[in-house]
A = this chain, B = another copy of it.
Amino acid sequence: MKSIDDFSRPEEYISPLDKHFRSVVRAWVDKDVMPHRREYDEDWKEHTLIEPAFDNLMANRGLGIQKALFPADLGGWGLGQSDYAFTIACTLAEEVGRADTAMAVAFMVTYWPLTTILVEPHVNRRLAAEFAPMFCKSDKAVFAALAMTEPQGGADIENMELLGGKTIKTTARLDGDEWIINGHKLWPTNTGGVGQLFGVPCTTRPGSTDPNDFALIFVPADMKGVTQGGPYEKAGMAADKNGDLWFEDVRVPNWYRAHGPGKDAQVFKEIIPWGLVGSMGFLVGAMMNLYEVLYEFVSTRTYGNRPLKENDAIAGLIGRIAGDIEVCRILAYEGARIGDRRNRPYGHPLYSEEVLAKLRNLKDFVCDRAVENFGRAMDVLGVYGPDRQYDIEKHWRDIKIIQLWMGGKQLCQMEAARYFYNCKTL
C-alpha cells in the first residue's frame, strides 16, 4: 500500500526537524486520539476524553509542544526563531488534523496570539518572559485564544484591508499604567471555558480607521471582569470549544499591549498568514486520513463483484480525490514557504498585500477541494458514508467550518481579486 507520506511535498523546503516532529506527533495521534475520536462528538461539553489527550500533546508531562514558540532561554524550544516556522506549523497542522481538525485548531490557536510577540522579527521579550511560565511549566494543556469576532459585523474584523478596524466595538482605555477593556467577543477558538490567555484586538478610539488606534492587548482569563460563556453546540469540531467572552472594566498592565500604536495593526495583519497556512495544513491532514480510509474501503468493498478501485470509473473518481490531495499538499507547503520567505530578499513581509492575497487564494482553493472531496467520498461509501465508524463523515462535518472561518470564502475571493486586478472599491 502507498502511504500517506507518498503525497508530494516540495522537498527543498522541508525543515531538518520535520521528520522528528512528524514522528512524535504521529505516535501521539495514533495512541491518544485515534482510539477515541469517534466519541468526541458526545464529549463536546465536558471534554472528559479530549482533555487528557491534549495534556499529553501540549503539557510538560507529555510532548510539551505548547512551549515550542518560546525562546529557549525562557524554557521554550525557540521555534519563533526558526527559518522554517511556517513549514513546521504546516507539518504539525497536518499530523494533528489527520486525526481531528478541531483538536488541531484548538492546539495551534494557542500559538496564534503568541506569534505576535514570539516570532522574529517581533519578539517582545518582556511579554515573552511574562507568559513563558504559564505555558512552559504546566503539566496541563494551556490554551490561548485570539478574540476577534464581535456580535455585529461577523468577519469585519478580519477585513482589515477594507475597514481598517472601524467597526471594532471592544474598547481599550488607558488609565494610568493600566488598560481598561470593555467589550463582547464571540466564537473564538479556545473559549467556552478553556482559554487561559486572550489576545484581544480592540480600539482606543471607536470608529477610527487610523491604524494607530488599533490595539492588541493580552488578557489572562483570570483577570477580574473577564467572563467566559459555556461552549456552543455545533455540527462538528467538538474538540474546539467556542463561546461568548465578555470584558467588563478589565484592567491589565499597560505593557500587556503587544507592541504599541501602528505596530499592533501590523502584527495583527501578520497573524492572518499563520491562520491561513494552519487552515491548509488541517485540511491536508484531514484529506490524508480520507485517503487512508478510502483506500481501505475501495480495496475491500465491491461493485460488480470486484473491488471498487478496480472499476475504471470509480478509479477515475477516487483517483481525482487522491490527485487533489496531492495538489493541495503542494499548495499548502508552497503557502507555508511564502510565509517562511518573509525575511528573505526575494520574499515579502507577512503584512504585505501580496502575502495576504496569495494565501487567501490558496486557502480558498484548498477549502473548496476539501469540501468537494469529502462530500464525494461519503457518496463513494454510499450507505456507509454517513456512518461515524467510517471516520469520513466526521471530517466532512468538521472541515466545512474551516471554509467558513476567518471571514469565510467570500472574503478570500475579494482579497485575491483586489490584489490581482487592483480593484479599488470592493
Contact = CB atoms under 8 A, between A and B. Distances in A.
Interface of A: 1-2, 6, 8, 10-13, 291, 295, 298-299, 306, 309-310, 312, 315-316, 318-320, 322-324, 326-327, 330-331, 334, 337-338, 341, 346-347, 354, 358, 361-362, 364-365, 410, 413-414, 416-426
The 8 closest A-B pairs by CB, nearest first: A319-B417, A322-B420, A315-B417, A323-B361, A316-B413, A319-B416, A309-B421, A310-B425
Contacts of A291: 420
Contacts of A426: 310, 312, 315
Given A310-B423, A319-B420, A326 B361 contact: yes
Contacts of A334: 8, 10, 330, 334
Taken together, the copies of this chain in the complex come to 2
A263 to B, nearest CB: 27
Given A310-B426, A422-B2, A426-B315, A323 B11 contact: no
A358 B11 CA distance: 15
B319 A414 contact: yes
Residue from A13, A330, A364 having most chain B Cβ neighbours under 10 A:
A330
Nearest to A310: B425
A347 B8 CA distance: 11
Nearest to A314: B417
Nearest to A368: B320
Contact of A417 (B316, B346, B362, B410): B316
A195 B49 CA distance: 70
A10 to B, nearest CB: 6
B11 A312 contact: no
A323 to B, nearest CB: 4
24 contacts: A2-B419, A8-B334, A10-B12, A10-B334, A11-B341, A11-B346, A12-B337, A291-B420, A299-B421, A309-B421, A315-B413, A315-B414, A316-B414, A318-B417, A318-B420, A319-B413, A319-B414, A322-B361, A323-B364, A324-B365, A327-B365, A330-B331, A330-B334, A334-B334
Contacts of A8: 334, 338, 358
Contacts of A425: 306, 310
B331 A416 contact: no
Contact of A318 (B315, B323, B327, B421): B421
B11 A12 contact: no
A413 B11 contact: no
A295 B422 CA distance: 9
A320 B2 contact: no
A315 B416 CA distance: 9
Given A10-B10, A10-B12, A315-B417, 8 more contacts: A8-B334, A8-B358, A10-B337, A312-B426, A315-B418, A320-B413, A330-B334, A334-B334
A323 B423 contact: no
Contacts of A421: 2, 295, 298-299, 309, 315, 318-319, 322
Contact of A12 (B13, B419, B420): B13
Nearest to A328: B327
